[in-house]
Amino acid sequence: MINEKLEHAFCVQINKELYSAYLYLAMQTYFKDMNLDGFANWMAVQVQEELAHAMGMYNYVLERGGKVTLMSVDKPEDSWNSPLSVFEKVLEHEEYVTSLINELTSVAEEVKDRAAISLLQWYIKEQVEEEANVSNVLGNLKLAQNDPRALLLLDRELATRTFVAPVIG
């Protein structure tokens, strides 16, 4: 049976993961409106990943005999100045999510739930990968420096990203 404090912490994190999906959906809409379908595709994959992360935690709580309490998902920001400003926000958000995963891990350590700690190691590694992927796109956008041709080349590259369902845990 999962510890009550840890169960609540997982429910809060599930909400944050769903918010992340919602935020990336808003960003996908922004890129669709700009006719940058590759960027929109990158965000669509992010939406799927965040939903998978939420469901991984959801299933874990249930497997441990806990109850998932769903909470309202906040309205995400939905306007940006440029593709660069979007990805600056993405990096800021992923760094925030990393801090949340670290806090959740601290709760698991506090209540000495080794199964949760083991599960959360996957999420910690995933966050390192998430931040690196975003940093790469952000670096490319900075190199493009408002050159429409470079932006279109990057858009084509981002169109090739595909979702691969993660094996969590």
The tens digit of pLDDT for each residue in 124-147 reads 999 999 999 999 999 999 999 889
Query: How many alpha carbons lie under 13 Å from residue 86 in its C-beta half-sphere?
Result: 22
Quote the pLDDT of residue 169.
Answer: 84
The residue-averaged pLDDT of 146-157 equals: 96
**CA distance linking residue 93 with residue 98, whole number of Å:** 9
Single-letter amino acid, residue 49: E
Helices then strands (H, E): number in the chain?
5, 0
Burial of 159 (0-12, 13-18, 19+ CB in 10 A): middle
pLDDT tens, residue by residue, 43-96:
999 999 999 999 999 999 999 999 999 999 999 999 999 999 999 999 999 999
Quote the pLDDT of residue 146.
Answer: 83
Asked if 132 and 139 touch (Cβ cutoff 8 Å), the reply is: no
**CA distance linking residue 41 with residue 158, whole number of Å:** 7
Tell me phi and psi for residue 112, to 5 degrees: 55, 45
The residue-averaged pLDDT of 17-24 equals: 98
